[in-house]
């Protein structure tokens, strides 16, 4: 559930004839192929390889038992499931959150410390090399800076009112709780302590993403839910309405989760801060609750005026 490496939404590129992903099974069993496959495994089985329950304490780099593919579905290959296809071709790029140009390695570290609530990977580690290799592999044939239809989680119409956590709770209990549990704790793949992670990830609580994660922002979370949930949903045949997706996302975002320190350092240029960032300080005067739940139109107008000065 992360927050995530994917950037554009539906409107950023014309749809291709077919969503294509390079076939990892066609790679040779040489050093390159082994490295890419290890990168795939790190995305698909993060908890088992570098999670907080692995036997080797030096390898406990992730702070929760999520897998990267808890947010980047199918190891980052599902269209509008926050795919990683094409991401490598975007970097280096300017990152508003840091106010500087960042590398693909920087972006991975952001996921590790926010969505995974853990530690940065050692820069020269086999894990960093493998993740970068896998991302490069997934961008095979994609031109640098090219827009890829299917990136992100979608771009459904926004509400003209605030998203409602109270309504969202009712929707959650009816639609989501059967898998994610009433208490949002998800379902373990095995048992606590076995480093097998979750078959259904927790959406809040101590083993979920922290308050600095991209999935903690309403717009991305609501679109992710609309495009992908319940599990098995296809983005162009959503199972829940746009209104319900906004409200259930608001409920999930209202629930407790690990906090991230020093969030005030994010977005040093305040007028570049996304409208749905649920923590200040802000360049506008809208309250935190409006940034968290919307509506966002008035905030966009204020930020545009601020940038024009």
- Give the residue numbers spanning the domain of 166: 1-259
Tell me what pLDDT residue 5 has: 42
- Reply yes or no on whether the pLDDT at 217 is more than 60: yes
Q: Is the pLDDT confidence value at 16 over 80?
A: no
Are 210 and 162 in the same domain? yes
Instruction: Average the pLDDT over each of 11-25, 87-101, 181-195 and give the range with the smallest value.
Output: 11-25
Q: Is 7 a residue whose pLDDT tops 50? A: no
pLDDT at position 121 is 98
Write down the pTM of the prediction. Answer: 0.94
Q: Which of 244, 86, 65 is nearest to 159 (CA)?
A: 244
| Domain harbouring 160, CATH code | 1.10.760.10
Number of H helices, E strands in the chain: 11, 4
Write phi, then psi, for 95 (nearest 5 degrees).
-115, 110
pLDDT of amino acid 6:
38
Interaxial angle between packed helices 242-254 and 218-228, expressed in degrees from 0 to 180 and rounded to the nearest 10? 130
- 173 and 25 fall within a common domain: yes
pLDDT value of residue 293: 98
**103 confidence band (pLDDT: 50, 70, 90):** very high
| 52 and 150, same domain (yes or no) | yes
| Res 218: pLDDT | 98
Query: For residue 243, what are the CA distances in angstroms to 43, 183, 222, 268?
Result: 31, 22, 9, 33
Residue 147, pLDDT score:
86
> Residues 275, 251: one domain?
no
Q: What is the Cα–Cα distance from 303 to 271, expressed in whole angstroms?
A: 6
Q: Pick from 242, 259, 276: which residue ends a domain?
A: 259
Q: Are residues 188 and 244 in the same domain?
A: yes
Of the listed ranges 5-14, 20-29, 114-123, 187-196, the least confidently predicted one is: 5-14
- Return contacts of 49-57, CB within 8 angstroms, 24+ apart: 49/127, 50/118, 50/127, 51/195, 51/197, 52/118, 53/192, 53/193, 53/194, 53/195, 54/195, 55/195
């Amino acid at each position: 559930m992360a927050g995530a490496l994917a950037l554009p939404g539906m409107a950023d590129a014309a749809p291709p004839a077919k969503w294509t992903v390079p076939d990892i099974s066609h790679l040779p069993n040489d050093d390159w192929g082994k490295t890419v496959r290890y990168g795939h495994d790190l995305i698909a089985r993060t908890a088992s390889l570098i999670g907080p329950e692995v036997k080797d304490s030096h390898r406990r780099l992730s702070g929760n038992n999520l897998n990267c593919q808890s947010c980047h579905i199918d190891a980052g290959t599902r269209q509008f499931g926050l795919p990683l296809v094409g991401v490598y071709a975007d970097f280096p790029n300017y990152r508003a959150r840091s106010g500087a140009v960042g590398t693909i390695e920087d972006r991975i570290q952001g996921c590790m410390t926010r969505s995974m609530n853990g530690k940065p990977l050692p820069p020269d580690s086999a894990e960093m090399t493998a993740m970068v290799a896998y991302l490069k592999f997934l961008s095979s044939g994609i031109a640098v800076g090219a827009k890829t239809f299917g990136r992100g989680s979608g771009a459904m119409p926004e509400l003209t009112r605030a998203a409602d956590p109270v309504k969202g709770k009712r929707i959650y209990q009816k639609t989501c709780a059967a898998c994610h549990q009433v208490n949002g704790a998800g379902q373990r793949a095995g048992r606590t302590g076995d480093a097998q992670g979750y078959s259904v990830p927790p959406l809040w609580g101590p083993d979920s993403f922290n308050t600095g994660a991209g999935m903690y922002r309403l717009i991305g979370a609501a679109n992710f839910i609309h495009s992908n949930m319940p599990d098995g949903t296809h983005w162009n045949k959503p199972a829940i309405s746009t209104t319900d997706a906004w409200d259930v996302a608001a409920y999930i975002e209202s629930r407790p989760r690990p906090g991230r320190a020093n969030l005030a350092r994010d977005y040093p240029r305040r007028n570049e801060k996304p409208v749905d960032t649920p923590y200040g300080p802000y360049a506008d005067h809208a309250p935190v609750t409006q940034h968290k739940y919307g509506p966002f139109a008035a905030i966009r107008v204020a930020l545009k005026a601020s940038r024009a000065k």
